[in-house]
Amino acid sequence: MARKPSGTRFLPRTAPVVDDGPVTVLVAAASRHGATQEIAESIGRTLTSTGVQAEVRKIDEVDDLARYEAFVIGSAVYMGSWLESARDFVEKHGDELAERPTWLFSSGPIGEPPRPEAEHAVQVDELRGKTNARDHSLFAGKLDKGRLGFGERALVLAFRAAEGDFRDWAEIEAWTREIAEALRP
Ligand SMILES: Cc1cc2nc3c(=O)[nH]c(=O)nc-3n(C[C@H](O)[C@H](O)[C@H](O)COP(=O)(O)O)c2cc1C
Residue 2 confidence class, pLDDT cut points 50, 70, 90 = very low
Residue 12 has pLDDT above 80, yes or no: no
Residue 44 has pLDDT above 50, yes or no: yes
Q: Which residues contact 152 (CB under 8 A, 6 or more apart)?
A: none
Domain ranges of the chain: 24-183
Task: Please state the pTM of the whole predicted model.
Answer: 0.89
For 24-183, CATH number out of 2.160.10.10, 1.10.1040.10, 3.40.50.360, 3.30.70.260 equals 3.40.50.360
| Interior angle at CA 126, CA 122 and CA 129, nearest 5 | 125
Q: What percent of the chain stands above pLDDT 90? A: 75
Question: Rounded distance, CA 45 to CA 52, Å?
Answer: 10
Q: Which residues contact 62 (CB under 8 A, 6 or more apart)?
A: 26, 28, 89
Where are the strands (E) in 59-134, listed by range?
Answer: 70-78, 81-82, 102-107
Question: Rounded distance, CA 11 to CA 14, Å?
Answer: 8
Q: Burial level of 60, CB count in 10 A (0-12/13-18/19+)?
A: middle
**What is the pLDDT averaged over residues 139-165?**
90
The residue to mutate among 143, 148, 153, 156, having the most atoms of ligand 1 within 8 angstroms of its beta carbon, is 143
Residue 107 has pLDDT above 90, yes or no: yes
Ligand 1, pocket residues at CB < 6 Å: 31-36, 76-80, 107-110, 116, 121-122, 141-143, 148, 152, 155-156
Mean pLDDT of the chain: 89
Ligand 1 centroid to residue 3 C-alpha, Å: 28
Residue 10 confidence class, pLDDT cut points 50, 70, 90 = very low
Residue 6 has pLDDT above 60, yes or no: no
